[in-house]
Amino acid sequence: MGYKLLMISTPVGPLGSGLGGGVELTVTNLARILHQRGHRLTVVAPEKSTLAVDVELVTLPGQWQSTAQTAGRQTPVTQPEPSVLSAMWSYARQVQSAYDLIIHFSYDWLPFYLTPFFQIPIAHFVSMGSLSDSQDGIMAAVAQSHPGTLGVYTRTQAETFSAPEHYRHLGSAIDLSLYDYCPIPAHQLAWVGRISPEKALEDAIAAAEQSQVPLKIMGKLENPAYWQALQAQYPQAPVEYLGFFDTQSLQTVLGNCRALIMTPRWVEAFGNVAIEALACGVPVIAYKRGGPIEIVRHGETGWLVEPDSVAGLVRAIHAIDHIDRRTCRHQAEQDFSLPALGERFEQWFATMVPVRSSL
């Protein structure tokens, strides 16, 4: 017996493009484990999406939503025409009777607004902290009208919203079999993520320049003007942008680094790259802000550094040999395993769909 689940992916870009950031990996990993655990799944996503999991994938055309982190708090709700977001939710409305539950992954106003009009429950997985007044407002309304249906990655993320107790903490996980433990890395550091101002790559570049340890950068070039400005600002820094990689290539390069540097200027909701690094045995040096606080064990699997302190990053880089890489891999196995994530989501679903239907 399993659930019939309709997963609706982010409308900011196709799965596999990197535009969706960590939520793409979360959708993929969740689809993988829920499928393995015997649930029947359909994933709905923008056209050109790819999914490395053998479940039904429905892709729909339409323009992507712009990302909330690039807009101001007061920015009105907008939707392009034709909109992939509305296409995905029209599809969901038409097919809902074939499912027990919708799992929703976007950070958009429309799906929350539509919630009371659907006949089946919607589990809203919120993948970022508070960024917009209109989004906060509609999420608070759904938290009142449909209690228990909002989930987040971390407590720190939930605390950015006005009523954090309404959000269920679900964490994140990776398929550990896809990440190899690398005991002896090269003399280099990694920075991994969307190249966009909220990630403050400039601090990692400054730290690489000051410590003179080469920095390898991997990730979606989301904001090319920002990247060009960084190159102009630090012409001598020992940094190299390698490109956007799939998981297999990413983990090969990442594993061969002495540390992952995470420099979020915003409250990072989780930081999937942190657990990918740990899985390879790579310690994480992160600002003590947002999700990494709940991931990194300070002094054991990395260093939590005073936020926005490049000097702090440099000190942590010099202290990296105090961290045992085996402990990092061990933490990933212990705290971020995919079956445990699958169980947490199932427990959440059970509060919304009390009686399981047979497939």
The nearer residue to ligand UDP, 118 or 244, going by C-beta atoms, is 244
The nearer residue to ligand UDP, 23 or 138, going by C-beta atoms, is 23
| Assigned token pair, 280 | 């390879």
Find the shortest distance in angstroms from Cβ 317 to ligand UDP.
Answer: 20
Q: How many separate helices (H) and strands (E) can be counted in the chain?
A: 12, 13
Q: Are 211 and 236 in contact (CB under 8 A)?
A: no
In this structure, the number of other CB atoms found within 10 A of the CB of residue 117 comes to 8
The nearer residue to ligand UDP, 87 or 286, going by C-beta atoms, is 286
The nearer residue to ligand UDP, 121 or 271, going by C-beta atoms, is 271
DSSP line for 5-57: EEEE--SSS-TTSSTTTHHHHHHHHHHHHHHHTT-EEEEEEETT---SSSSEE
Q: Are 280 and 254 in contact (CB under 8 A)?
A: yes
Which positions touch ligand UDP (CB under 6 A)? 18, 21-23, 25, 192-194, 218-219, 244-245, 250, 270-273, 276
Find the shortest distance in angstroms from Cβ 48 to ligand UDP.
Answer: 16
Q: Are 93 and 118 in contact (CB under 8 A)?
A: yes
In this structure, the number of other CB atoms found within 10 A of the CB of residue 128 comes to 24
The nearer residue to ligand UDP, 227 or 245, going by C-beta atoms, is 245
- CA proximity to 194, closest of 216, 224, 220, 218: 220
Find the shortest distance in angstroms from Cβ 23 to ligand UDP.
Answer: 6
The nearer residue to ligand UDP, 8 or 92, going by C-beta atoms, is 8
The nearer residue to ligand UDP, 87 or 190, going by C-beta atoms, is 190
The nearer residue to ligand UDP, 246 or 343, going by C-beta atoms, is 246
Find the shortest distance in angstroms from Cβ 106 to ligand UDP.
Answer: 13
CA angle, residues 147, 148, 154, in degrees to nearest 5: 130
Q: Could you give the residue ranges of the DSSP H alpha helices within the chain?
A: 22-36, 84-95, 109-114, 133-145, 155-158, 201-211, 224-233, 247-255, 272-279, 310-318, 325-335, 338-352
| Assigned token pair, 55 | 């479940």
Size of the chain in residues? 359
Find the shortest distance in angstroms from Cβ 319 to ligand UDP.
Answer: 23
| Interatomic CA distance for residues 344 and 170, integer angstroms | 6
Partners of 44 in the β-ladder? 8, 58
The nearer residue to ligand UDP, 87 or 174, going by C-beta atoms, is 174
| Interatomic CA distance for residues 356 and 2, integer angstroms | 7
